[in-house]
Every structure is written in C-alpha cells, then in structure tokens.
C-alpha cells in the first residue's frame, strides 16, 4: 500500500504580548491498488478516475465462464459423493446386521467398512473442493474495501490477472 501525503498549512497567530506561533497540520490519505484474489480475465471495469465509490461498490468483474464451470463440476461431484457415501453407509449397516445374525462373513463387513470410510473421505474432499470453487466465484467481483475516490484505472477489459502476481486493476484513495 502506498501513501500520498496531502499537506495543508494552517497558520495560527496567537498574539499575546510578544508571543506568536505557526501551526502546521499534515493529513495522509491511503492510496490502495486493488486486484483480484483469483486468476482470470477482466470482463469489465466499472469505474473511471475521479469516480467516488462507496464501501462494497463493484469496481471490476472477471469473466466467470471457467470459474462457474469449475463450480458446477464441483457441485456435481459433491452430489455424487453424497449418494455414494449414503449407499456405502447403508450397505455397511446392513452387512453389520447380517454379521450379527451370522448371515455375513467378517470379511464382507470389513470390505463394506473400508468402502464406507473411503466414501466418507471422498465426501469430505468433494465438500472442500466445492467450497473453494464457491470462494473463487465470489472473488471474481472486485469491490471497494472502503469508501474513496478512484485515482487510477490501470486495468482494462481483456487483461489477464494472475493471482500470484498482484496487478492493480483499480487504485482508490481512501480518506
């Protein structure tokens, strides 16, 4: 974060006999270069220099075609993992009952338990991946973190953003 110093001198003269004083006051406004937390291609920049923006205002958006497709794929995998988990849990429970009734072998129960444990792990993995995809989709919209004034717009539609190399898309001055 860079800071641009805005200085104003306020002269105050106190005349009391031979006493006089000059007071200088300096204020600093934060200049914030803002970029996306995810990689992608800028679809649109919605502000221009000089625009006043409120906290939470949309400044720019990425093309969400790939991000949304990954989210849909993760959601489909999650739905499948839930079904497989539920079936594996049911099968393990049924085989445990059959084993208790002396109608299934310990080997069958062990295999069902392994299948169930693996299904539970796959379900946890699918939930995590779906959550990451949802997070990425939510970060495809660049919003103002504070109220301020747009000072520069170095970003443009078609700009490739790489999350590992921060590139300011919009620069705002916050009071």
Q: Tokens 């031979």 belong to which residue?
A: 18
Residue 101 and residue 76 in one domain: yes
Token pair listed for 171: 């620069």
Instruction: Please tell me the predicted confidence (pLDDT) of residue 49.
Output: 96
Residue 14 and residue 45 in one domain: yes
CATH code, domain carrying 149:
2.40.50.100
Under 8 Å between Cβ of 174 and 64: no
Residue 117 and residue 146 in one domain: no
Instruction: Give pLDDT tens digits for 1-52.
Output: 333 333 332 233 333 343 333 333 333 468 999 999 999 999 999 999 999 9
Query: For 101-109, what is the mean pLDDT?
Result: 94
Rounded distance between C-alpha atoms, residue 159 and residue 121, angstroms = 39
> How confident is residue 165, by pLDDT bands cut at 50, 70 and 90?
confident
Count of domains forming the chain? 2
Instruction: Please tell me the predicted confidence (pLDDT) of residue 29.
Output: 60
CATH code, domain carrying 130:
1.10.287
Residue 131 and residue 89 in one domain: yes
Structural domain boundaries, residue 129: 65-139
pTM for the model:
0.74
Rounded distance between C-alpha atoms, residue 116 and residue 100, angstroms = 18
Buried b (16+ CB within 10 A) or exposed e, 49-65: eebebeeebebbbbebe
Residue 74 and residue 128 in one domain: yes
Rounded distance between C-alpha atoms, residue 34 and residue 160, angstroms = 15
165: which strand partners? 162
Rounded distance between C-alpha atoms, residue 51 and residue 13, angstroms = 38
Rounded distance between C-alpha atoms, residue 147 and residue 65, angstroms = 29
> How confident is residue 166, by pLDDT bands cut at 50, 70 and 90?
confident
């Amino acid at each position: 974060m860079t800071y641009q110093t805005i200085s104003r001198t306020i002269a105050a003269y106190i005349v009391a006999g031979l006493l006089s004083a000059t007071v200088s006051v300096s204020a600093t406004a934060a200049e914030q270069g803002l970029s996306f937390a995810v990689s992608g291609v800028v679809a649109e920049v919605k502000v221009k220099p000089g625009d006043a923006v409120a906290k939470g205002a949309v400044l720019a958006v990425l093309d969400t075609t790939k991000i949304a497709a990954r989210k849909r794929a993760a959601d489909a995998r999650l739905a499948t993992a839930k079904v497989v988990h539920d079936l594996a849990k049911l099968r393990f429970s049924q085989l445990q009952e059959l084993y208790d009734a002396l109608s299934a072998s310990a080997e069958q129960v062990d295999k069902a338990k392994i299948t169930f444990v693996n299904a539970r792990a796959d379900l946890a993995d699918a939930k995590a991946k779906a959550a990451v995809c949802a997070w990425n989709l939510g970060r495809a919209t660049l919003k103002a973190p504070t109220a301020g004034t747009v000072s520069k717009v170095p970003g443009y539609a078609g700009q490739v953003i790489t999350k590992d190399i921060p590139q300011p898309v919009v620069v705002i001055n916050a009071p």
